[in-house]
Amino acid sequence: MPNTVAGFRLAIFYFWYFAFLGAYAPFWPLYLESVGLSASQIGTLLALVPVTRMLGPAFWGWLADARGARAPIVRATTVATLVLFCGVFAGHSFAWLFAVMLAMNLFWSGSLPLVEATTMAHLGARAHGYGRIRAWGSVGFVLVVAAGGFLLDAAGVRSLPWLIVGLLLVHAGTAFVLPEAHSAARHDDDTGVGAIVRRPEVLALLCGCFLMSVAHGPYHTFYSIWLVGHGYSKADVGLLWGLGVVCEIAVFTGWSRLVGRFGARSLLLFAYAAAALRFLLIGWVPDSVTIVIAMQVLHAATFGCFHGAGVALTHRYFGGRHQSKGQALYSGVGFGAGGAAGGLASGMLWERVGGGWTFTAGAVAAVVAVLVTARWLREPVAVSGETAVT
């Protein structure tokens, strides 16, 4: 299959994966609040996403590497996600939603790391082209999050599950046109995953990713609720989320120039420092529209630069036969364990000390990530190699 066709199919998958996330991430906390759940219950339910990312990606990554194929597993996990999400229509109790979201996320958490590994394997020595493919996911997110705010203002937040089902249905369909990509062999393929993880620079990368996800805990859990509580409409919330992702798209489309000029390590340090500033000001100056808008522009750094550098470094540390496991570790330790810790902590802090101090705790986690990365992470040597895409 020509590389351009494979890249197009990967881009379509990213588009619809993040289109679903554009409805789920900003507005699902508002839906949970609308059915009567408390802040701590909402924090617990949203923490299921990162908790399952500690378990699901590792299992699905191991299975994909053992089978030597990723695409069939992505198809199975996306269909299962759609079917299991439909369980939300059967009840609104905390216990029932806990069971539904746990089961759904165990499958949903498995697809993206496998597609990330497929994309990097497809690109091979042209890994700098990752941003152009991944940017389509951000386009999908921003279109849905911007339109979703107006839709929910008009139809009510209780209509959200129907929107999500429609998006998941299309998303599942895109999994059936995914290309398969086989990773190129590397000279260090005989090195075990444990030995790679024990390297100081790899530990620093994983630790920094963990702390960055902790820092985002209050944002992912309570940002929409925080803004609505300060007088913003749901349409405003959707537009603000969308603004952040538009800035993220700019980073991904210019990724090859950015990483070529500054290097992945410097971009990580910049992302962590920007996160500390961003969450501190969100927590203490939410009534200033100018500040809130400016902090959404910083999403270009706190997600765009962070994720681009994280995926690139993981690919370079865990290439060859460990590629799926490496991306699963990046997702599981960072977005999984870190996101779970951040979500649970923010849920507990929110009711005790309020939003300002909860966002401040997130900023402190980002500062620690700066210190860890500056001390132990060093830029790895790039590994070249082409891959076959079928």
DSSP string for 59-76: HHHHHHHHHT-SHHHHHH
**175/264 Cα distance (integer angstroms):** 30
pLDDT at position 2: 42
Beta bridge partners of 182: 388
Q: Give the CA angle between residues 375, 376, 382 to the nearest 5°.
A: 130
Amino acid identity at 205: L
In the predicted model, what is the mean pLDDT of the chain? 88
User: What span, in angstroms and rounded, lies between the C-alpha atoms of 27 and 152?
Assistant: 9
pLDDT at 201 over 80: yes
CA 269 and chain centroid, separation = 18
Structure tokens at 248: 């993220």
Judged by phi (left if over 0) then psi (alpha if -120 to 50, else beta), residue 380 lies in: beta
What pLDDT digit, counting tens, does each position of 136-172 carry? 998 999 899 889 888 988 999 999 999 999 999 999 9
Q: Which residues contact 112 (CB under 8 A, 6 or more apart)?
A: 17, 331
Amino acid letter for position 44: T
Strand, coil or helix: what is 55?
A: helix
User: 319 vs 180, which has greater pLDDT?
Assistant: 180
Residue 325 confidence (pLDDT): 78
Q: Is 219 part of any domain?
A: yes
CA distances to 14, 89, 368 from 139, rounded to whole Å, are 9, 29, 31
Pick the more confident residue, 190 or 205.
205
Tokens for 126? 């042209």
pLDDT on residue 389: 36
pLDDT at residue 190, rounded to an integer:
57
pLDDT at 116: 86
Assigned domain for 36 exists: yes
386/115: higher pLDDT = 115
- Mean pLDDT over 329-338 rounds to 84
Is 45 part of a structural domain of the chain?
Answer: yes
Determine, yes or no, domain membership for 49.
Answer: yes
CATH code for position 291:
1.20.1250.20
Closest CA to 331 of 319, 314, 345, 343: 314
Instruction: In whole angstroms, give the CA distance from residue 67 to residue 332.
Output: 20
Q: Which of 52-56, 207-211, 289-293 has the lowest mean pLDDT?
A: 52-56
First vs last Cα of the chain: how many Å apart? 6
Where is pLDDT greater, at 29 or 58? 29
Instruction: Look at residues 274, 277, 292, 290 and name the one whose alpha carbon lies nearest to residue 229.
Output: 292
Res 3: pLDDT: 60
Q: Compute the distance between CA of residue 329 and CA of residue 333 in angstroms, rounded to an integer.
A: 6
- The more confidently predicted of residues 130 and 285 is 285
Label residue 127 by pLDDT band (50, 70, 90).
low
Is residue 387 one of the residues assigned to a domain?
Answer: no
Q: Is position 388 within any domain?
A: no
pLDDT average, residue stretch 266-276: 97
Any domain includes 144: yes
- How many structural domains comprise the chain? 1
Is the pLDDT at 271 greater than 70, yes or no? yes
Domain residue limits at 252: 3-183+191-381
C-beta contacts of 84-93 below 8 A and 24+ residues apart: 85/161, 85/164, 85/165, 85/168, 86/165, 88/161, 89/161, 92/35, 92/36
DSSP code string of 283-318? HH-TT-HHHHHHHHHTHIIIIIIHHHHHHHHHHHHS
Separation of alpha carbons 264 and 234, rounded Å: 36
Q: Which of 133-137, 183-187, 313-317 has the lowest mean pLDDT?
A: 183-187
As a whole number, mean pLDDT of residues 231-245 equals 90
Q: How confident is the model at residue 25 (pLDDT cuts 50, 70, 90)?
A: confident
Would residue 279 count as lying in a domain? yes
